[in-house]
Copies of this chain bind each other. A is one copy, B any other.
Amino acid sequence: MLSRVERGQHRILHPRPVYLIVSKHGDRVNVMAASWVTPVSEEPPRIALALDRETFTYRLVRGSGYFTVNVVGEDMVDAVWIAGTVSGEERDKVSLIGLRLADSEKVPVPHVEGCLGYIGARVWRTMDVGDAELVVADVVEAYADPSLFDPRKGWYLAKARVLLHGAGRVFTTTGRILYPSKRG
C-alpha cells in the first residue's frame, strides 16, 4: 500500500504555506520565498525558519539580525515563484517582481505591501542542521488584515486564500472548511 520514498522525502510534509521573507542589511534589500517556517513557541512568541546558507537572504539576515515573514494570497503566485527561483545577489528582485515594500513598525526591515499579514522577527539563536541553518527568532511585531484575520479564530478561510506550495511549479490554496463532528 505505502511505498518507500528515498528522495524528496521533505515533499511528504508539503503542501505548506509559502511566505515571502524580506531581509535588509545596510542598503541591500532582498525577498525570497520560504515554506520551511513554523511557529515554535507561543510564550514567548517565537518562530523558526530553515535558511540555506548559500542564499543572499541568509547573508542579509546574519548581517542585520532581522527579517519579516509575509503571508500572501493566491494572487501572489507569480511574485512567489520569481522570489523563489531568482537569486537576489546580482539582481534587485524587489524591482524585478514589482513588489512594493512598506516600513515595518519596530523591526528595521520592510514588509510587503498587499500581504495578508506579516511577522517582524529578530534572530534569537541559530542551529546548523545540515544544508541549512535553522534560525529561531523572536516575534517582535505581528500585523494582519482585520477583515481577513481574527486573533482567536485565525484567517477567515472563506475569504483569505493563503498561498501554499506543493512542489516545483505546483501551488495551491485552501479548499473546503472542515469541522470535527465529535467532542474532544
Q: Measuring CB to CB, which residues of chain A are less than 8 angstroms from any residue of chain B?
A: 1-17, 19, 35-48, 50, 69, 71, 74, 77-78, 80-82, 84-86, 105, 115, 117-119, 125, 127, 129-132, 134, 136, 139, 141-146, 149, 151-155, 157, 161-164, 166-182, 184
8 Å CB contact of A5 from B80, B149, B179: B149
A172 to B36, CA, bound (A): 20
Do A170 and B177 touch (CB < 8 A)? yes
Do A146 and B82 touch (CB < 8 A)? no
Do B146 and A3 touch (CB < 8 A)? yes
Do B184 and A180 touch (CB < 8 A)? no
Residues of B within 8 A of A131 (CB): 41-44
Residues of B within 8 A of A164 (CB): 174
Quote the shortest CB–CB distance from A93 to chain B (angstroms).
Answer: 11
8 Å CB contact of A184 from B44, B86, B155: B86
Residues of B within 8 A of A152 (CB): 7-8, 11, 167-168
Residues of B within 8 A of A172 (CB): 157, 174-178
Do A180 and B145 touch (CB < 8 A)? no
Do A130 and B46 touch (CB < 8 A)? yes
A-B contact pairs, 15 of them (CB 8 A): A2-B143, A2-B146, A6-B142, A7-B152, A10-B45, A12-B142, A40-B48, A40-B129, A41-B130, A41-B132, A48-B50, A77-B178, A78-B182, A171-B177, A173-B178
